[in-house]
Amino acid sequence: MKYTCSCRRRHADNSDACGDRRHVLGLAALAALGSLGLLAGCGERAGEAQSLAPVEIDRSTSCELDGMLLADYPGPKAQVHFVGQSQPSFFCDTVELFSTLLAGEQVRAVRAVYVQDMGQADWDAPKGHWIDAKAAVYVVGSKRHGSMGPTIGSFAQEADAQKFATEYGGKVLRFGDIKADMVDLSGGALHDTRM
């Protein structure tokens, strides 16, 4: 490309260096504007990440699937922050969580998923101790029950999961190792005498 130099003089190397400089400055200006746009996007994402912090349950928090009150049942609870939803969807059992996430018809985009660390929380009345579900360690097939009967224990530390599996049975797995055929929701109807 050839640009006309506004200074109207030729440079020693017979090039139009002023035009080249203008071209470089123009590219730099575009890059700077693009960076500002990216930074604005990062700012939005950082703010979004803050709004994705886990939300604590209270006596009125109900399950997305069946309306059951989370505080009325033992075992780990879960919450999913879906795209386009200002408040998380809560689940009174990790089996319900995985059933929802692994369902073939699940089409809602997920921003964040939290479960409770049962190495810290009281199994019979869990409060707080929310951890990133994708980083958690799980015990599938133990003797411990949640709201839906047999449930999946969630833990922040593998050592806590191993200790739990030794005491109550089950297999220690990572988030990605849990498959749809491991999350049977029929247990709730069979084991819940309060329905």
Parallel/antiparallel/unpaired status of strands 137-140 and 130-132? unpaired
Show the CA angle centred on residue 24, arms to residues 23 and 28, nearest 5°. Answer: 120
Domain span including residue 8: 1-51
What integer pLDDT is reported at residue 21 of this predicted model? 45
32's CB contacts (< 8 A; 6+ apart) are: none
Using one digit for the tens of pLDDT, what is the confidence trace for 69-95? 999 999 999 999 999 999 999 999 999
The DSSP bridge partners found for residue 139 are 153, 172
Q: How far apart are CA 122 and CA 171, in angstroms?
A: 21
CB atoms within 10 A of CB 94: 28
Question: What is the model's pLDDT at position 93?
Answer: 94
Mean pLDDT of 151-170: 98
Residue 78: the pLDDT is 98
CA distance readout (Å), 110 to 82, 152, 167: 4, 20, 34
Q: What is the pLDDT of residue 74?
A: 97
Shared domain for 38 and 101, answered yes or no, is: no
Q: ∠ CA 165-73-191 to the nearest 5 degrees?
A: 75
Question: Is 97 in the same domain as 134?
Answer: yes
Question: Per residue in 97-153, pLDDT tens?
Answer: 999 999 877 778 999 999 999 999 999 999 999 999 999 999 999 999 999 899 999
pLDDT per position as a tens digit, 7-28: 444 445 555 454 444 443 343 3
pLDDT tens-digit series, residues 39-75? 333 333 444 545 689 999 999 999 999 999 999 999 9
What span, in angstroms and rounded, lies between the C-alpha atoms of 49 and 102?
24
Q: What is the pLDDT of residue 187?
A: 55
What's the structural domain count of the chain? 2
Residues 88, 179: one domain?
yes
pTM of this structure: 0.71
Residues 40 and 123 in one domain: no
> Is 63 part of any domain?
no
